[in-house]
Structures are given as C-alpha cells and as structure tokens.
C-alpha cells in the first residue's frame, strides 16, 4: 500500500536528517528562533540557547538511531517482514511523539504541541531541502539508512 511506502520513506528521511551532526546543532538554534517568532526571548534562555540546541540535537540523533535499530530488530528478529509497513508506522509515530516531547522538555516549552511544531521545523525543513537535492544527486546517508529499513510489500 502507498501509505506504507510513504511512512517508510518519511522514517528514512527523518533518521537521515536527525543524524547529520554537527550541521543540525545550529539548525536547532535557528529552528527555535523561527518557532519563537519576533517576541523577545527571555534573557536566561538566550544565554542557554546554544547549550539547549546542542543537547536537543544530540539526543534526537541518539533517539533516531535507537528507533531505527528497534524497527530493524523487530522486523528481522521476530520475522515480521510481511507486516513491515505496520511496524514502520508504529516506530515512526513513536519517534515523532518522543521527539516532540524531547523538544518540549529541552526548550522548556509549556505545551506538547509547541514541541511538536518546533520538531516539525527542525526535522522537515531540512528534509524538504535534502529531498529536492536528492532528485539531482544520490544521498549516500539516505541510501545507507534505507538498507536498515525493510521495504514494505503489498
């Protein structure tokens, strides 16, 4: 089914973008600035913003790798290849949920959906850029991540 292929590729792109260190540290800082808008940022947070951006970026890299390995282990070790699409959906939604909570916690946001909107800025603006570039050139990291994900059938 097409939804399984979409989630398969979205999970691969999400992991690919999340592990692009140290590029994603300044992007986390900029994503917070974009999310926060034109309002002045609390001066205590301004001093800690680079530290929080570094922490969020590095922890999200670890979370992305863990979810990728859990997805691979579930499909490979338990031999759920016919249900790979459903497994990808479960782990992708878990990755999104944990990432949103992580951003909410690290950047001291008041609402889970604030963390979710910041996570979308952080992950999916670079994903769109890299996807457009992948139409011209192959992304070797993307190809490597796809080797760890079982392609869904039917």
Instruction: Per-residue pLDDT tens, the chain, 154 aa: give them.
Output: 789 999 999 999 999 999 999 999 999 999 999 999 988 888 888 889 999 999 999 999 999 999 999 999 999 999 888 899 999 999 999 999 999 999 999 999 999 999 999 999 999 999 999 999 989 998 899 999 999 999 998 6
Count of residues making up the chain: 154
Quick one: pLDDT at residue 112? 97
Domain positions in the chain: 2-148
């Amino acid at each position: 089914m097409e939804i399984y292929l979409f989630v398969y590729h979205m999970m691969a792109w999400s992991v690919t973008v999340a592990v692009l260190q140290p590029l994603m540290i300044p992007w986390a800082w900029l994503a917070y600035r974009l999310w926060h808008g034109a309002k002045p940022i609390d001066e205590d947070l301004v001093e800690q913003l680079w530290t929080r951006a570094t922490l969020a970026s590095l922890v999200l890299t670890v979370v992305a790798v863990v979810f990728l390995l859990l997805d691979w282990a579930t499909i490979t070790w338990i031999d759920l290849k016919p249900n790979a699409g459903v497994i990808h959906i479960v782990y992708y939604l878990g990755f999104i949920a944990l990432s949103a909570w992580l951003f909410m916690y690290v950047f001291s946001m008041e609402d889970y959906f604030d963390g979710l909107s910041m996570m979308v800025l952080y992950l999916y603006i670079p994903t769109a850029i890299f996807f457009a570039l992948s139409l011209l050139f192959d992304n070797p990291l993307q190809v490597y991540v796809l080797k760890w994900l079982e392609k869904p059938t039917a």
